[in-house]
Amino acid sequence: MLQINYIRQHAAIVKEKLAVKNFANINLVDELISLDEAIRKQKSSAEALQANINSASKEIGALMAKGAADEATTLRNNVGVWKESFAAEKITLQQLEEDFNNKILLLPNLPHSSVPLGKTPEENITVLTGGNMPTLPENAQPHWDLIKEYDLINFEIGAKLAGSGFPLYKGKGAKLQRSLIQYFLDYNTAAGYTEYMPPLMVNADTAYGTGQLPDKEGQMYHVTADGLYLIPTAEVPVTNVYSNEIIKTNELPVKMTAYTPCFRREAGSFGSDVRGLNRVHQFDKVEIIQLVEPQKSYDVLEEMVHHVERLLQFLELPYRILKLCGGDMSFTSALTYDFEVYSAAQKKWLEVSSVSNFESFQTNRMKIRYKDEEGKTQLVHSLNGSSLALPRIMAALLENNQKADGIHLPKVLHSYFGAAVIEK
């Protein structure tokens, strides 16, 4: 959530930056400034009435002590009128504040100055490409055929149990999935991240904290009877671990990692873009999150990007890193890098990670703060990244490493999987 003081003092800059994100309702900035001014005036009026009531109440006691009962009665009547007015002023103030709070939640985060202009994914900028493109046999198959041939995942039984987009991993498919999760967690904890195992459902306040509500309400599974939401990413519960906390400076940066299943209602349209593991309702993901001092957050962002890049290098996958344009960024992000791996059988790039700096947008909602060197309480910056999302990683690993005698796994997974090759 943006801070109204900044909006009020830099209205023109805020509008300019919102335009980079292609935010349509620019007039909302002026509405919020007007509402904030009305709230200030209303508070001032209510405080003046309260001061009159307090002063008069003291004076009534003094008048009674002097025996001036008539004057005290008159003043008491005035106080009664003022109290009625004060009650009405409070109701008006509450209505103004509710309107303001609802509307400021509709403003997305402001993009960093380096965010490129653009409206569509085609306008994202490729900043780096790495890894070697595989050479596949002539009869190379896409992963949805490989998983049937090797009996790794059963989508039909998953659909019977839950519905379309809920894969059932089995045998070596389940083992490979578990191997990847353990490797990702080991890699992250070796880099200083503390592992968490959070709840898979959160309340509305937690979802508001990281910006999933109200922006992505339609994309989350809602357990209506209990008012809970199935998490779309570990970012939601794990970042909120420190909500309403003041972190000691010597405890920064806070580095957290977690594996969770993730649940997302949108599964897209029909076609190759959503076939097999390309897009599903339930998937596994390992996340990394950092809470840092504001002046260090963009250095930390580069550090996290390098961390994910090394992970893809160890997996021996061809990859590219994209800087997202304004129109392709999330509601909460100030700057995002996407990682894509090349799926050789499909001949297409698949997104496997987003690494983002949210600056103080999330932490302002969650009230995550620290005390700076001068003892002043400030908001920390929050960052997160996928390290990694598993479905498309598995799709690329299967497709890119298929050979006549089986699927050859990258060396880093041999000890986790217990073999170098997945045989038929």
pLDDT tens-digit readout, 331-376: 999 999 999 999 999 999 999 999 999 999 999 999 999 998 888 9
- Distance, in Å, from the CA atom of 4 to the CA atom of 1, rounded to the nearest integer, reads 9
**Residue 268 pLDDT > 70, yes or no?**
no
**Residue 38 pLDDT > 70, yes or no?**
yes
pTM confidence score: 0.91
- Distance, in Å, from the CA atom of 338 to the CA atom of 1, rounded to the nearest integer, reads 23
- Distance, in Å, from the CA atom of 165 to the CA atom of 158, rounded to the nearest integer, reads 8
**Same domain, residue pair 175 and 248:** yes
**Which of residues 56, 76, 104 is at a domain's end?**
104
> Do 20 and 326 form a contact (C-beta atoms < 8 A)?
yes
Q: Which two tokens stand for residue 29?
A: 């900035």
Element (H, E) at 302: helix 297-314
C-alpha 18: how far from chain center:
19
C-alpha 48: how far from chain center:
42
**Same domain, residue pair 242 and 339:** yes
Mean pLDDT value across residues 301-316: 98
Give pLDDT, residue 271: 53
Element (H, E) at 384: strand 381-389
CATH number at residue 14: 1.10.287.40
Q: How confident is the model at residue 318 (pLDDT cuts 50, 70, 90)?
A: very high
Give pLDDT, residue 213: 92
**Residue 269 pLDDT > 50, yes or no?**
no
Which tens digit of pLDDT belongs to each residue from 217-267? 889 999 999 999 999 999 999 999 999 999 999 999 999 999 999 999 874
- Distance, in Å, from the CA atom of 191 to the CA atom of 311, rounded to the nearest integer, reads 11
**Same domain, residue pair 349 and 223:** yes
**Same domain, residue pair 98 and 194:** no
Number of domains in the chain: 2
Q: Which two tokens stand for residue 85?
A: 């007015």
Q: Can you tell me whether residue 72 is helix, strand or coil?
A: helix
Higher pLDDT, 47 or 377: 377
Task: Write the DSSP assignment of 153-219 as a string of letters.
Answer: EEHHHHHHHT-TT--EE-HHHHHHHHHHHHHHHHHHHHTTPEEE---SEEEHHHHHHTT-TTTTGGG
In a domain, 111, yes or no: no
Longest dimension (CA), the chain: 108
Q: What is the four-CA torsion angle of 153, 156, 160, 161, rounded to 10 degrees?
A: 10
Give pLDDT, residue 80: 78
**Same domain, residue pair 204 and 175:** yes
Element (H, E) at 338: strand 335-343
**Same domain, residue pair 213 and 308:** yes
C-alpha count within 13 angstroms, C-beta hemisphere, residue 77: 5
- Distance, in Å, from the CA atom of 345 to the CA atom of 421, rounded to the nearest integer, reads 19
Give pLDDT, residue 17: 97
In a domain, 116, yes or no: no
In a domain, 110, yes or no: no
**Same domain, residue pair 148 and 60:** no
CATH number at residue 131: 3.30.930.10
Domain residues for 37? 4-104
Which tens digit of pLDDT belongs to each residue from 114-123? 999 999 999 9
- Distance, in Å, from the CA atom of 337 to the CA atom of 387, rounded to the nearest integer, reads 13
In a domain, 234, yes or no: yes
Q: Is 391 exposed, middle or buried (0-12, 13-18, 19+ CB in 10 A)?
A: buried
Q: Can you tell me whether residue 2 is helix, strand or coil?
A: coil
Element (H, E) at 144: helix 143-149
